Chain A
Amino acid sequence: MFNFFEKIINYYKTAPKHGKNSKQNRKISKSLNENLIFFKKEFDQSADLAIRELKICNIPAAVITVDGLIDKNMLSNNVLKVIMGEEFRELSEKDPEKTYEYLRDKAIAFPDQIEITTYEDAIILGTSGFALLALEGSTRMLAIGVQGFSFRGIAEPTAEASQRGPREGFVEPIRINITMIRRRMRNAKLKFEMLQSGTTSQTAVALCYITDRVSSEILNEIKNRLNNADLATITTSGCISAYLEEEGDLSLFSSVGLTERPDTVCGKISEGRVAVLIDGSSTVLIVPYLFVENFHTIDDYSSRPYFATLNRILKFLAFFVATLLPGLYVGLGTFNPELFPGELLNKIALSVGATPFSLMLETLTIHFIYEIMREAGLRLPQTLGHAVSIVGGLVIGDAAINSGLIGAPTLMVVALTAICSYVIPTLYEPIAILRFLFIIFGGLFGTWGIMILFSAVLINICSKSNFGIPFLSPISPFGAFGMRDTFIRASWRTLSKGRGNIQTMPGAETD
């Protein structure tokens, strides 16, 4: 945790170097009154700004804090009690600068205390949970690390559950997340680099990488993109991830990875990737990210390679089924029924004969209903979510078939598609959109339309690259080395041989 503050100190020392975010810094005034007026004005009498005025050796002083971000006990016991104690009254020193130095070097024993000279730094540290000690007549302020606020405890990540892997997931405060990574990587080469993003929110963003693994080109490009990000407020990781994509990239697929697991982050950064931690978000971004990584889960690396390989193949199959099956069903059913096996065609024809809608309209409708129900179940409290599933599963599913509104094969296709899309949760969004597109193309142009759209999507994925790394690597451009962890998951003895850095991927345009 202390490292974190060192990083912050380093950051502020080098703050002016950080391009766009470095503004013209205003120096702290000698007059305490002026300083207090500045804070009151800047915070516009905000309710959480707390200013405690006091006297140290008869020098007027003030402790400025933001309520809720500090540990009040720590502040009063370790700071206020000391500076308001007997020994200070007896101190004959009247020179504010010397008193400040005495306070900084002898009186207050805090590992994380920062000397600040500008208002900008004072605001940032104040809003980060530091107590600012200001003295009349001194142009310096002492920021004392008394942070303490309540946050959600470390829990198992809900979106990336694991059977055998660790059960720790990231939380919202960035410093806790940094600690979680550091605890797993006891390596001096692991570096956290603090940046700030969002002109209004001034959110702390940390780049996490291993210095001897990361490509300097990729790192500089990431910093460049983050510094040029024209964002006012950063509320989620999604805000930043858009700026980490290639400019003008309209692809449905994202080349920025998301994870809630510190172990995943450790694995990724050890391959030369960079993790972007955002304060207030439990999701960490990973760049560069490849298409095949969507098919990797942490459990793949805990199971035996045979089962992990089977799982990989299943996931790839599930991806194709989830994307193409409804489209193919509609396309073949409408234009090329002769391509169905006889018995299957009979079943489909029987069900279509009993329903009033065309195959395309029927499939589209059920998909819409399914997406609506999914969204409803996702946003509602868990207890209500169950109710939605009952309504969805029983009422809509069963009743729709019994009443002859929807055919059983169509419902079966939708259900299978839905289950398959859950197998690769990170690709759910593009799959959902592509599925609709394939249904429409299949319904309007049959098999031809599906293949044409498939080719276009393939070119879209193939032409995509981020930070000079082809998105579809190592499938295309093909790399035999990367194949050991793509369609198959080789054993750990094989995986541990040779360094598979991201910048050594086939087709990579970076060193």
Chain B
Amino acid sequence: MTQNRIISVPQMFCMLLISRVAVSMTFGPAVMRGVNFWDCIISCLGAYLVTFLLIIPVMWLCKTNGQEIITSSCGALGKIFSLIYAVYFAFVCAHTLALFKVFIENVMNPPISFMLLSLILVALTCYGAAKGIEGIARASSVIMFFIVFSLIILGFSLYKTTDPTNFGPFFYDGPHSALEGIIFFISRSSCIPAMAWLIPRTNGNVKRGIFVWNTSFYALMAASIMIVVGALGDFAQTQLFPAYSAASIAKMGSLENLDALYLGLWTASIFMKLAMFLNLSAECIRDVFGQKNIKISILIMGIILVATNATVKLSKLSSGIFSTNLLLLFTAITSIILPFLMILSKKIRKKNTLAKS
């Protein structure tokens, strides 16, 4: 089954960058404990290089498959692979929603029922997902512009509060923190499997796109860590979401409370990420069951998402869904093992057909 190349490379990478930023901007004690943030700058460099290695299998697979869906050349086995990807993408959605829940309930604690809010969020993301990847990609590039713009504002406004003595020596407590950071960043690389499904629908120079995407993401992360550590110092270690705390002290002239900017853009990023993964998950399901319309799968996914989020308690959520090891395992399966299996399967099938002929 071939697909139309409907989105451009910059659009795809804007979408992937946003979905990474949405999750990574929440790094902090909520998701990684006992880690020295300053060493995470080194983690960014490490993870940057590792990401390039991780992309190789997916790129290889996409190159051999061209415009075809990656699982299409694996026969019946392909359906199982698609199902695994569908589950993984649904899991990423659940993870993102859980992150939203943790942030809202622990940091903001507004007098709104989270159930109602998540219902609205999922309902509207389902709408977004049903509108197709094209719309999500285009909307993401608009949001990307706002994110870059607001990060520049936040960076400038926090420059004054930065204390240079907060930038301590690297590896003061050993390489543990940096390694933890690398694992943290890599485990949340849900973009790589997503890329496997998106590249066949993308038009343009993917290699250059990957380079720009990876570089800009880790540069953005390193800059954010620098800003947060510079502004908050050791206080950052005590904050659940240090990036939010840093944003909350930012001010520009008489304009105070710039965290509203952070909150708004973060919510929009979460929205885009949920919409993209819901769409991808529904696409995978379409590949398994061969439906024509993905709207029903998106709706069912949305209902499952809200139901699991409502029924599972926050403590259980954080122990399971935020477990770096679990995420790392999933990422390894979907971005390394499955692509290799698919390449292998394709080679064997090719060999068999050659032998038969």
Residue numbers of A with Cβ under 8 A of B are 332, 335-336, 338-341, 441, 444-456, 458-464, 470, 472, 475-478, 507
- Interface contact A459-B275, CB-CB below 8 Å: yes
Chain B contacts with A in 320-350, Cβ cutoff 8 A: none
B11 within 8 A of partner (CB)? yes
Q: Which residues of A contact B268 (CB under 8 A)?
A: 451, 454-455, 458
> Do B260 and A445 touch across chains, with their CB atoms under 8 A apart?
no
Name the 10 nearest CB pairs between A and B, nearest first: A463-B135, A462-B138, A451-B267, A455-B271, A463-B131, A476-B138, A459-B128, A456-B124, A462-B139, A458-B139
List 15 additional A-B contacts (Cβ < 8 Å) besides A341-B254, A456-B127, A458-B268: A335-B111, A335-B112, A444-B112, A452-B120, A455-B139, A455-B267, A455-B268, A455-B271, A458-B142, A459-B128, A459-B136, A462-B134, A462-B135, A462-B136, A477-B11
Q: Which among A441, A444, A458 has the highest number of chain B CB atoms within 10 Å?
A: A458
A459 B127 Cβ-Cβ under 8 A: yes
Contact B256 A341 (CB under 8 A): yes
> What is the 8 Å Cβ interface bit string for chain B, positions 91-109, against chain A (1 contact, 0 not)?
0000000000000100000
CB-defined contacts of A445 to chain B, threshold 8 Å: 112, 116-117, 120
Chain B min CB distance to A319 (Å): 14
User: What CA separation (Å) do A336 and B108 show in the bound complex?
Assistant: 9
Sample 30 A-B pairs with CB under 8 A, ordered by A number: A335-B110, A335-B111, A341-B254, A444-B112, A446-B110, A446-B112, A447-B260, A447-B263, A447-B264, A448-B110, A448-B267, A449-B117, A451-B268, A452-B267, A452-B271, A453-B124, A454-B264, A455-B124, A455-B268, A455-B271, A456-B124, A459-B135, A460-B131, A461-B139, A462-B134, A463-B131, A463-B138, A463-B139, A476-B141, A478-B141
Q: Does B68 contact A (CB under 8 A)?
A: no
Q: Assess the B127–A447 pair: CB atoms within 8 A.
A: no
* CB interface residues, B 115-173, toward A, < 8 Å: 116-117, 120-121, 124-125, 127-128, 131-132, 134-139, 141-143
Chain A residue at smallest Cβ distance from B258: A339
Give the CA-CA distance A462 to B144 in the complex, in Å.
14
A193 to B: closest C-beta gap in Å: 31
| A to B contact number (C-beta, < 8 Å) | 113
Residues on B close to A: CB < 8 A?
A: 8, 10-11, 104, 110-112, 116-117, 120-121, 124-125, 127-128, 131-132, 134-139, 141-143, 254-257, 259-260, 263-265, 267-268, 271-272, 275
Inter-chain contacts of B112 with A (CB < 8 A): 335, 444-446, 448
The A interface, classified by DSSP as helix, strand, loop or mixed, is helix
**Alpha-carbon distance A454/B136, docked complex (angstroms):** 13
- How many Å from the CB of B114 to the closest CB on chain A? 10
Chain B residues within 8 Å of A459, by CB: 127-128, 131, 135-136, 139, 275
CA distance A463 to B130 in the complex (A): 10
Whole-angstrom distance between the Cβ of A347 and the nearest chain B Cβ? 15
Give Cα A444 to B117, complex, Å.
Answer: 9
The CA-CA distance from A335 to B260 in the complex, in Å, is 12
CA distance A472 to B137 in the complex (A): 12
**In the complex, chain A residues whose CB is within 8 Å of the CB of B10:** 478
Chain B residues whose CB sits within 8 angstroms of the CB of A455 once the complex forms: 124, 128, 139, 143, 267-268, 271-272, 275
**B142, A476: Cβ atoms under 8 Å?**
yes
> Which B-chain residue is minimally distant from A341 (CB atoms)?
B256
Contact of B260 with A463 in the complex, beta carbons under 8 Å: no
Of A461, A475, A477, which is within 8 A of B8 by CB? A477
Q: Is there an interface contact between B139 and A339, defined as CB atoms closer than 8 Å?
A: no
Minimum CB–CB distance for A205 against chain B, Å: 31
Q: Are B124 and A463 interface neighbours, CB within 8 A?
A: no
- Closest residue of chain B to A460, judged by CB? B131
Asked whether A475 lies within 8 Å of B254 as measured between CB atoms, the reply is no
Are B260 and A339 within 8 A (Cβ)? yes
